[in-house]
Structure 1
């Protein structure tokens, strides 16, 4: 196995020991330290996707979205991933809970997770691989009051910087301390009984040094109540910034996250074409199979499982940003991050749609099988053969992870030209322990109960409800290493015309091993069906050793017609290397993306408008679909053409209208799923149309000035599968809220989500290839109607 190198740590030590001053990062400027005019300018600065300290969004020659703290609060994101619903060109399935989101970008083909999305904290990737199976970046950080703003760049320059993400790079910028003491304390409670406490405090330590510390804690059942507190945990973040001079600074930060939530999966619903309705006995808006009866179980391996563990992470993330002014024209920047801890998943995964207990018994035992006894595990009461039942399995995944990332660059400014050269290094490790399968027979109802089944011929089908053991048992460890060099040149040809170009060379290496499982009858008794084909850990190791390198590049042009109206155009070619899970399954394809894009940017006091037209060609998808009958590789490409529009209209001081729209025409090319060519089909789980309108009213009622806001969202129809046989119909979602300031320091707020209780499907059954038919199916709807009430005190 490769060992982490000392390069990142030594750069960290070198920067700390240097005596000259470090430059202040423009993106980190605190509101408290600026005039109102400067504050407005700072809020328009974006760092993500740039080579240096940042640029005004109006000047950026790429598609970027910036959200300030107020926009984040009014969006009321249900999770870290959920905030990306504000970014055009991105499709977010946050219906899986606080963790485990599926995020899709610009028609890039993907079966789930967030393969082409990287989250950063203050410009540093939180964990360099954007996605591993059962772990995507948004699982490792939470949005709370310590986040000052969020920046998101899609396509464009993303393939050059940081970890070279060609899809979407999201940067969460931390609050920092200013020249006055400031802070906020906030408490909230929901209509379903979950409570949360947030807060932060920031201020000066001396004239040139500021601090910030804050975080949150929450506890409750969640909208889908499993009869126990499944949502529990919190996060604390702290930083210190010291300015040595106007162009030199250091920012040190640390974050501890210990948070978990229920992993929400498909539930039974009734589908008739585009008509979706509730399955009898199961509420699609707030129902869950999880229950106290299913919470504690013991697997065939002897492993004791508590469903309350859910999906989450317990990690420490520390880092530093250094800016060093070497001279008037030369500057050095270094960003470094360390992460260590565990990410975990424990969930109840349904296998197929409900059926009667009689029909299920015949399917399990074979044609002609006769039920001998059918009873509840808890209490032993008899169960009717007509009872609707469902098979669902206990899946557990534990990952021990760590990483070190270092991104260092030199920037030379000479007249109208800015040249940047940089070096990126990342070393990361994970040790995976998986146990998938462990199917149980459950009643097909809210808060399901376990059922035991014995056949009349003496065969014992279940043990405490379990009708099978593991079908996929993994013990594997991997180390990854990425080394990259990049160079970017930006030339201001005239006051209105700017051109830029850049190159990136990256070498990607993975070493590791997989312990191959064996299948056994653990008690050598063919009449005990529940353990006849148990996967158990074997002794044979399969090594993994992979090394490849690629060049990425981009060229762009920006023309400012006026100071308020501009245009840009860009071509970029980026790559995404195979990660651990692909290589374990023998899939070694390197994804490549060619993107052409151009846009219009308008920024006036009344109107902001950002419109982008793009076309991309994608080759080399490599993903794996986990199925009970064996894993299926999906390989190939796609092409996509789309339009992204976002903007704001402010005709008066008391009314504004924000909005965004995405049109996407994305189809597969030379794409194979389970060996079948799906070329010409629409790329799965990404709609042709999606839009959102966000009006805000600020009326004046005799000195009381509430803020009333709403979001109406539309998601067009999609297909859950590459075969385009699992239709996910279009739906609308309406959210709204109102906030009132009292004595300028107290903010009272109520926010409602999915006010119409829409049954909007975001996923079909990923454990099935092709159609589920009509009638009872498995699908994952958005969460039902809920309300959050909060009170905050600011100082």
Structure 2
């Protein structure tokens, strides 16, 4: 059965049973709010982080809601790009369609504790699965997306586990009128995508919605094979009662996505020399079609040699299904919400990770000459390069190209995963002599787990795009092959390996009280207590020689010993929040909030040694000002985030062992202070200008080391890869011409200087880039043109993360990183009915 057939068959089966949960409702909006100045905004009502649906203007925390119309105009290429349009969230969306980096202001991690939900529940309980979740990894946009609500800080720790922020993807549901849309997208990157959805009535008070996408994309970088192929389908059936509703939902995803890693951009021997002639800044990648058939040999626990087969063109291949049930009901003054979901899937992740800077080919070979003579005899005259698989005869001369070689790490990772989660809450309003209380109490529970198998192998290659792997060959004076440093291109066979499984259980009790003291003043409180229980096991590994005398590459592989280690952990966390909101009138207001976030280690720590037991704790403080006048608004939020203590581990690649085993653990503090702005100015006539801006000062403080490492290098330094300024501005002109509704818009994004390492020795320069678009609508047809990075602006979003986080890159400015994608265009044709 073909891939598309499997996708459609599985999707149809799930569509009959279906996922998810949509918060109860626009009809909860108070009548007097209809007349308020901001009431005509399409994303005025929010449900995330609140006991009941409220106007965005009325809540005491930073929240955005982007409707499907706004999402369509932003035309993001990924979920990360969409989230990156908001203040307080910095993204690195250059990894591809998924597996990107999101950072919430002040949070010193690559995920930023940004917790993704779908209709109020996670698809997988933990922030990150074993190479499969990573925030945007299980969430893709399509026409079934009604809106995306994003909370930064505020009450996020109360409404989700380990959350400094929540991104809640809310799906469409049916109405009394049948409607739908089909959309065709073509792109200059070789993109072909079809989206569609339809919704409507099934019977009395019963409605359906179903939709999804199929997509093929050759890719923004030329790897020699398609970058993305696959799709998803989501569906739901909603039945309304006189006092509530019941919704059954389902989702099926079967998708392959390339993961782009960093590339070298300048010669480390002379950083003024660009490597662009060999690996193009905008289209080049170390991903290679020569790695479509990878064989990694390793010794299992019984001493037998096994082979793990890999195919880099599969990329990150995830398949999962989710079903969910959501009930909302009113019983007099009581509101009951009960929702549950179950996800099961598997992921096979093949990616090529950069490790260390390129090195002079002669210097690299000379470093192995002594070992080669020891292994293959003193008659080894010299070491030379040949293309892998040519038995040393396909000679490669580095001097005819860049003169450089580099190594990169092929990672093959497999995981089966499951996650069941449920939330039950009861909400009631009480009138008291001093205002009204809206109290919500709830219980949340989840049981989840994953198997884990990973094996890494380091490859030798020239500095060029889509490189062919190289062998380093030991030759006699007559040119005869005496042996190999490498093994069919591999410089280190099976250099790292992990095997095991874990299960996690969490139970949480939470409560909130929204207290309307007067018509203008509101105070809200929240408390969440969580109990975790983890059990897992892992296979012990050791060093082993696989016994191939013709190569040095298998002399020190990792092998399973046969020993199994079981581990358990029972952490807990207590999170709380206190906020106040004062609205002078329907146009002007202010708020303040203080929250505590505790994040225990995840269940996956039970498959590693030594087991991590430290719970991270942070205090989040916010003060906000807000103004809303018609279609214009401005939200300003000052924030202060402090981690005390912060347990920070910085790990780098060790070229001697070929593994990322250079780790320094520090304990100290981290703090971020700044302000974020989110606004839109509608000027009389067709012009409006929207934008977001974050200005911050993220720093490490008071680092110490229990093992005597020098911690002073990080004290007072800017957090790794976090800028002090980032934001965007988006002007739009909307007008009518000849019966056509036309929108012309632009966008400029800016990110200030960052650093690749904790001691700030190598900088990632500031960058900015432009996007443009035009949308034409007539009757039920629309046509959109979207241009990304139209000036081919240069910008590095990260460094060589495996090799430079401890010591930098040996240069003041990064010469190895993941660049912005080059100029591209997309053309979108849609038809509604």
What's the TM-score, normalizing by structure 1?
A: 0.91
Residue 456 of structure 1 deviates from its aligned partner by: 3.2
Residues 671, 39 of structure 1: CA spacing in aligned structure 2 closer, same or farther, 3 A cutoff? same
* Aligned partners of 1:589 and 1:622 also within 8 Å: no
Paired position in structure 2 for 1:256: 252
Query: C-alpha distance in 1, partners of 2:814/2:698?
Result: 29
Residue 152 of structure 1 is aligned with which of 150, 153, 159?
A: 150
Say if 1:29 and 1:144 are closer, same or farther in 2 by CA, change over 3 A. Answer: farther
Asked if the contact 2:210–2:236 (Cα under 8 Å) also holds between the matched residues in 1, the reply is yes
**1:268-289 deviation per Cα after TM superposition (whole angstroms, max 9, x unaligned):** 1028999995543111111112
- CA deviation after TM superposition for structure 1 residue 624, in Å: 6.6
Note the C-alpha offset of 1:29: 9.7
**Counterpart selection for 1:652 from 678, 681, 684:** 684
CA contact 2:61–2:154 (8 Å) conserved in 1: yes
Partner of 1:50: 50
Moved more, 426-435 or 100-109: 100-109
**Is residue 689 from structure 1 mapped to residue 689 from structure 2 by the alignment?**
no
1:596 positional shift: 1.3
In the alignment, which residue of structure 2 is the partner of 1:508? 532
Q: Please say if residues 352 and 778 of structure 1, whose CA atoms lie closer than 8 Å, have aligned partners that are also in contact.
A: no
**Residues 379-416 of structure 1: per-residue CA shift (max 9 Å, x gap):** 54211142432212211111111011111111111221
Separation in structure 2 between the aligned mates of residue 225 and residue 276 of structure 1, nearest angstrom:
23
Where in structure 2 are the equivalents of 1:182-581 lying within 5 Å?
A: 182-245=179-242, 247-270=243-266, 278-301=275-298, 302-327=307-332, 329-366=333-370, 371-377=382-388, 380-386=393-399, 387-415=403-431, 416-436=436-456, 438-456=457-475, 458-523=482-547, 525=549, 528-581=551-604
Pair 1:129-2:161 in alignment:
no
Provide closer, same or farther for how the CA distance between residues 648 and 455 of structure 1 changes in structure 2, counting only shifts above 3 A.
same
Following TM superposition, by how much is the alpha carbon of 1:40 offset from its aligned partner in structure 2, in angstroms? 4.2
Indicate the residue corresponding to 1:758 in structure 2: 793
Q: 2:810 aligns with which of 759, 766, 773?
A: 773
Task: Report deviation, 1:24.
Answer: 7.7
Distance in structure 1 (CA, Å) of the matches to 2:23 and 2:355: 54
Are 1:719 and 2:719 an aligned pair?
A: no
Pick which of 294-303 and 198-207 moved more. Answer: 294-303
Q: Distance in 1 between matches of 2:649 and 2:182?
A: 44
RMSD: 2.6
Q: Give the conservation status (yes or no) of the 8 Å contact 1:638–1:671.
A: no
Distance 2:447 2:295 in 1: 36
- Counterpart residue number, 1:613: 638
Q: Deviations over 1:644-701 (max 9, x none)?
A: 1001011134111001100111111244689442221111111000121000112343
Q: 2-side partners of 1:452 and 1:248: how far apart? A: 67
User: Does the aligned pair in 2 maintain the 1:185–1:200 contact within 8 Å?
Assistant: yes
CA shift at 1:625, angstroms?
Answer: 3.5
What is the CA deviation profile of residues 536-578 of structure 1, one whole-angstrom value per residue up to 9, with x for unaligned ones?
2221122221112232111111111001211111111111110
The answer to whether the 8 A contact 1:353-1:776 is kept is no
Instruction: Give the conservation status (yes or no) of the 8 Å contact 1:338–1:402.
Output: yes
Paired with 1:427 and 1:344, the residues of 2 have a C-alpha distance of 22
Q: Which of 159, 176, 179 lines up with 2:176 in the alignment?
A: 179
Question: Would you say the 8 A contact 2:23–2:120 is kept in 1?
Answer: no
1:418-443: CA deviations, max 9, x gaps? Answer: 1111111111101110112x111112
Deviations 1:497-521 (A, max 9, x none): 1111121111122110111112101
Q: Distance in 1 between matches of 2:742 and 2:601?
A: 50
Contact 2:773 2:784 in 1 (8 A): yes
- Name stretches of at least 5 consecutive residues in structure 2 with no aligned partner: 1-16, 299-306, 374-380, 477-481, 654-658
Question: Contact between 1:279 and 1:776, CA under 8 Å: does it hold in 2?
Answer: no
Change (3 A) 1:94 1:635: farther
Aligned pairs for 1:579-598 (under 5 A) are 579-583=602-606, 584=608, 585-598=610-623
2:624 — aligned with what? 599
Counterpart residue number, 1:669:
701
Aligned residues: 762
